[in-house]
């Protein structure tokens, strides 16, 4: 269960709160003027969340690359090269 605490109370009780997060794995939501601004969680939980985010991004990238490969599989290398040359010429002519 998350604990909610104001920044001032957090400053007064830093050591006890730090120990509770580290040892008991209790997350804290830190508020400033009743608005949540920061979450204090154990480092292991942070690593797990960071890994989930990274794996999600990589999975979306892989799906996008697969869609691009499927969309482009009917074009030859020569057609792609010709399109790139035409696009490059168009861009350079605008300058």
Give the residue extent of every domain in the chain: 3-41, 45-93
Lowest mean pLDDT among 5-9, 27-31, 91-95: 91-95
Residue 1 vs residue 50, higher pLDDT: 50
Query: Confidence band (pLDDT; 50, 70, 90) for 53?
Result: confident
- Token digits of residue 77: 């290398």
Note the pTM of the prediction, 2 decimals. 0.55
**Each residue of 16-49: pLDDT tens digit?**
999 999 999 999 999 999 899 999 999 999 998 8
The Cα-based distances of 89 to 81, 83, 85 in angstroms read: 12, 10, 6
Domain at 3-41: CATH code:
3.40.1620.10
């Amino acid at each position: 269960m998350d604990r909610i605490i104001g920044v001032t109370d957090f400053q007064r009780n830093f050591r006890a709160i730090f120990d509770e997060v580290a040892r008991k794995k209790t997350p804290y939501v830190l508020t400033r003027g009743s608005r949540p601004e920061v979450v204090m969680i154990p480092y292991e939980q942070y690593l797990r969340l960071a890994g989930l985010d990274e794996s999600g991004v990589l999975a979306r990238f892989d799906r996008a690359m697969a869609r691009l490969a499927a969309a482009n599989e009917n074009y030859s290398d020569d057609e792609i090269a010709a399109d790139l040359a035409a696009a490059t010429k168009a861009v350079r002519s605008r300058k």
